């Protein structure tokens, strides 16, 4: 079973007013989703974001964003450069493929020698 992890790409402190407590201490973070399995490590192109007020601790959802927050968010979104999507195979995958090739080759050899009959 593959596990998913959000990896931090960029973090920025904003000086916009919080819609909840009107404090000027917000934090904008961008995350990229990575999937880890026993045989692979996949970097997806899925980027998510989160804005949190450092004083009241509330999440600021897009429905509550002011025009200033939207402009700043657009600016930082252009600056974010996520990793390229990729698939990296782990050594266990290569070991299993090698074992499979050896098993098939030995079965073909034994069949040709007449030791095994199908």
In a domain? residue 19: yes
Instruction: Kindly state whether residue 101 falls inside one of the protein's structural domains.
Output: no
> Is position 56 within any domain?
yes
Residue 117 lies in a domain: no
In a domain, 106, yes or no: no
Residue 84 belongs to domain spanning: 3-89
Output the CA torsion sign for 56, 61, 65, 68. positive
Q: Is residue 109 one of the residues assigned to a domain? A: no
- Asked whether residue 85 is domain-assigned, the answer is yes
The pTM of this model reads: 0.78
Q: Say if 28 falls within a structural domain.
A: yes
Residue 22, pLDDT score: 86
Total domains present in the chain: 1
CA–CA separation, 69 and 96 (whole Å) = 51
Are 57 and 37 spatial neighbours (Cβ–Cβ below 8 Å)? no
Q: How far apart are CA 93 and CA 60, in angstroms?
A: 42
Per-residue pLDDT, 118: 66
Per-residue pLDDT for the chain (118 aa), expressed as one digit of tens each?
779 999 999 999 988 888 888 888 899 999 999 999 999 999 999 999 999 998 888 888 888 888 888 999 999 999 999 999 999 999 999 999 999 999 999 999 998 888 877 6
């Amino acid at each position: 079973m593959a596990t998913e992890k959000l990896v931090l790409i960029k973090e920025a402190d904003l000086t916009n007013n919080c819609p909840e407590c009107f404090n000027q201490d917000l934090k904008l973070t961008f995350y990229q989703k990575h999937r880890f399995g026993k045989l692979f490590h996949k970097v997806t192109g899925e980027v998510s974001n989160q804005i949190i007020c450092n004083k009241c601790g509330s999440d600021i959802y897009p429905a509550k964003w002011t025009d200033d927050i939207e402009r700043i968010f657009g600016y930082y979104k252009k600056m974010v450069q996520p990793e390229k999507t990729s698939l990296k195979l782990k050594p266990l995958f290569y070991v299993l493929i090698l074992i499979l090739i050896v098993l098939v080759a030995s079965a073909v050899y034994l069949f040709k020698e007449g030791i095994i009959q199908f």
